[in-house]
Amino acid sequence: MSAEPGGPPASLSTQVEEAERRLEAAASQASQAEQRAEAEIRALEADLEKLRAEADRDLEQLRLAHEEDLQQAREAKERAIATAEEKLTEIEAQADAAEERIAAAEARASDSERTIDDERARAREAAAAWLREQLDSIRKQAEGR
The pLDDT tens digits for 18-59 are 999 999 999 999 999 999 999 999 999 999 999 999 999 999
Q: Where are the domains of the chain?
A: 12-144
Contact 30, 131 (CB under 8 A): yes
The pLDDT tens digits for 103-138 are 999 999 898 999 999 999 999 999 999 999 999 999
The pTM (predicted TM-score) of the whole model is 0.35
Whether residue 14 has pLDDT greater than 80: yes
Contact 51, 116 (CB under 8 A): yes
Check the CA dihedral 54-57-61-62 and report its sign.
positive
The dihedral region occupied by 2, where left means phi > 0, alpha psi between -120 and 50, and beta the remainder, is: beta
Contact 80, 55 (CB under 8 A): no
In a 3-state reduction of DSSP, which class is residue 103?
helix
Helix (H) or strand (E) holding 76: helix 12-79
